[in-house]
Structure formats: C-alpha cells, structure tokens
Amino acid sequence: MHESDHFPESRLLLSRLTRQARLRQLQLLLALQQCGSIGRAAEQLGMSQSAATQALTELERLLDTRLFERHARGIRPTQAGQALTEAARGVMHEIEDAAETLAAMRLGASAALRLGAIPSAAHSILAPLLARFYALHPQVHVDVQEGEGARLVSLLIGGALDAVFCREPAQLPASHAFDALLADEAVFIAAPSHPLAASRCVPLELLADARWVLPTSSIAVRDVFERVVLARLPQAQWFPVSTVSLPVLESLLAQPGAVTVAPRSILPGLGHGAATAGVCVLDLLLPPEALRLAPLGVAYPRETTPALLPEMLALWRAPDA
C-alpha cells in the first residue's frame, strides 16, 4: 500500500474528530492513561463512571477503533489509544497555554510573548534580559518554556512559540531567522572539594580516574566530551546517567572524583561565583578552539516577528546590558 492510499482514510477520521469529538473526551483520554481505571479517571474529572464510559465508547465508535483494553488491574491504551492520547496531550497543553495567556490579558496584561529557551540560554540570556524588560514593560505577559532545542524549534516553526533562545539550529526554514547573541565555550566543572579544584594548568590526563557526568546526547557539549575527552582518555568511566537537570548535575558532582563538561553559559544556573557556589571550573590545559561552542542566540519568524521582540533584543545589545 502506498502512503497516498492512507489519505482518504486519514481525511475521514480527521473530519469525524473535528466535527464530533469534544475536548472533554481528550481530557478523559489523558486521565484514563494516567489512572489506568475508568472509575478513578471519572473521579479525577468530576464525572460519573457511567458518563466516562459513555464518552469513551462514543469516541471509539466515532473512530471505529478500540482505544483501551481491559487487563487484571484496570485498563491500558491500545497502540491506537496511545497515539491519540499523545496527540491529545499536545492539544490540551496548547489550550492550557492559551487560557493562561487570555487570563493574564483579562487581568490587565497589555500583550503576550511565548518564548522557548534551552537551559544554557535561559540562565545566561533570558533570565537577565527579562529582568530589564519587565522594568520597562511590567504589564506584558511572558510565557517561557524551557526544554531541548529541537523540540522548541519545532514548536516555533509550527507557530506555538514566538521565539526560541537556543544555539543556531542545523536546519531552519527560510521563513525564520537566527541572531547570535552570546559567544560560548565548554568548561570542565567539579565540586569545590575536588582534589584539582585549586590547581592551575591541569593536563587532561590527570582526570584519567575521574567519574564523568555525561551531558545528554542532544546538546552541543556532548560532542566536546566525545571528541576531546574520549580521544585522550579512551578508558574514561562515567555515571549511568546523562542529564541536563542542574539539581541532578550538582548532586552527582558531589560524588568523589566526579567531573563533567558543560557550557560556560550554564554556570549562572549553578550559582558559580556566589558565596555558596556548588561547583568550580577546572583549569585544564586544552586549546581554546577545541572547546568553542556555537553561540547562543534567538530564532524567530521573519514575517510575523512579535512587535516587542526587537525591543527586548535591543536591551541585550545596549552598551549597559
């Protein structure tokens, strides 16, 4: 069967969903997946069990597909049910965001901005930028989603975000632009109690016995670990965890001999330089070009740029920024 053969069927199902499905049924799908029981899902939504059963039956009849199946301890989604539930989660998330924005505007917000940010950009660019922006625009509602760059850029292209603070995407449609804002580099960090914390010009080989906390494979600094560290320390050991969570990272770095490689831009989120700083930067003997990362910046649509975004970026570029 060719892909084109699916189109009439998909159009039929889409037509049924848009004409007859209800948001309450989408809420029910999420509750059923979470609770694993019609009774508990109905209670969570303030419905009777019979009403929940009827709503699910109507949706299954509408799609001519079984969405949930019974097992010894309740119900679980079928493959079709899982696919529809994931789609419902995205729809409900967008509706929740819209409701929050509308509520803010009803309560006096003069405008709204929907921004995405990867963790390093959130700490090094967006946090200080928003502080300056709100001093001038206290009535603007800003919704910020923090996450992985590829997912946020996908939301931007789909129109769910107005701008994304990230590294330059490998592929960005011609309808969108990227402005670089901040140079960045990889640094090696450890707990202040690390034996090499106060040393200067440390050869990488002195970390042969270190236990590494791996960055997740989806972020730029992981390439530095694989290209620089593993090339010189092929027997390197690491924790069976890869993370971009700063609390998790700090907790793992407290383990004896633990080190990691991270963007310098993430250091404000770790409290580096504060009296209670939980990490320190190791002074390693490595060429700067080996540690250079793509700059952080902002991606946005060329034709539908929110009016307030250029003003926000002007604050970043101002001499006293």
DSSP string, 120-147: HHIIIIIHHHHHHHHHH-TTEEEEEEE-
Q: What is the pLDDT of residue 147?
A: 87
Distance CA 139, CA 106 (A): 11
**Average pLDDT for residues 68-94, to the nearest whole number?**
84
The Cβ of residue 208 has, within 10 Å, a number of other Cβ atoms equal to: 12
Going along the chain from its start, the domains and CATH numbers come out as 3-94 (1.10.10.10), 100-182+295-317 (3.40.190.10), 184-293 (3.40.190.290)
Query: With 70 as the cut, is the pLDDT of residue 98 above it?
Result: no
**Amino acid, single-letter form, for residue 15:** S
Q: What is the pLDDT of residue 3?
A: 44
Q: At 4, give phi and psi (nearest 5°).
A: -65, -25
Q: Decide: helix, strand or coil at residue 112.
A: strand
What pLDDT band is residue 318 in, cutting at 50, 70 and 90? confident
What pLDDT band is residue 243 in, cutting at 50, 70 and 90? confident
- Residue found under tokens 């620089």: 228
Q: What is the pLDDT of residues 52-64, one digit of tens each?
A: 999 899 888 888 8
Distance CA 197, CA 190 (A): 7
Q: What is the pLDDT of residue 109?
A: 43
Q: What pairing do the DSSP bridges indicate for beta strands 111-117 and 140-146?
A: parallel
Query: With 60 as the cut, is the pLDDT of residue 101 above it?
Result: no
**Average pLDDT for residues 185-209, to the nearest whole number?**
95
Model's pTM, two decimal places?
0.67
Lowest mean per-residue pLDDT among 14-23, 78-87, 205-214, 286-295: 14-23
Query: With 80 as the cut, is the pLDDT of residue 92 above it?
Result: no
Lowest mean per-residue pLDDT among 90-99, 114-123, 125-134: 90-99
How far is the CA of 308 from the CAs of 87, 113, 163, 176, in angstroms?
31, 8, 11, 17
Is residue 182 within 8 A of residue 129, CB to CB? The reply is no
Q: Residues 6 or more apart from 139 whose CB is under 8 A from it?
A: 108, 109, 110, 111
DSSP state of 46: T
**Amino acid, single-letter form, for residue 135:** A
Distance CA 261, CA 281 (A): 10
The Cβ of residue 278 has, within 10 Å, a number of other Cβ atoms equal to: 18
Query: With 70 as the cut, is the pLDDT of residue 26 above it?
Result: yes
Q: Residues 6 or more apart from 66 whose CB is under 8 A from it?
A: 60, 78, 80, 81
* 105 CB burial (10 A radius; 0-12, 13-18, 19+): middle
Query: With 70 as the cut, is the pLDDT of residue 273 above it?
Result: no
Mean per-residue pLDDT of the chain: 86
Q: At what angle are helices 23-35 and 49-63 packed, to 10 degrees?
A: 110
Is residue 191 within 8 A of residue 279, CB to CB? The reply is yes
In the chain, what percentage of residues exceed pLDDT 90?
A: 46
What pLDDT band is residue 294 in, cutting at 50, 70 and 90? very high
Q: At 130, give phi and psi (nearest 5°).
A: -65, -35
**Amino acid, single-letter form, for residue 316:** W
Comparison of pLDDT for 207 and 171, the residue scoring more:
207
* 257 CB burial (10 A radius; 0-12, 13-18, 19+): middle
**Amino acid, single-letter form, for residue 315:** L
Q: What is the pLDDT of residue 308?
A: 87
Distance CA 241, CA 220 (A): 17
**Average pLDDT for residues 232-256, to the nearest whole number?**
89
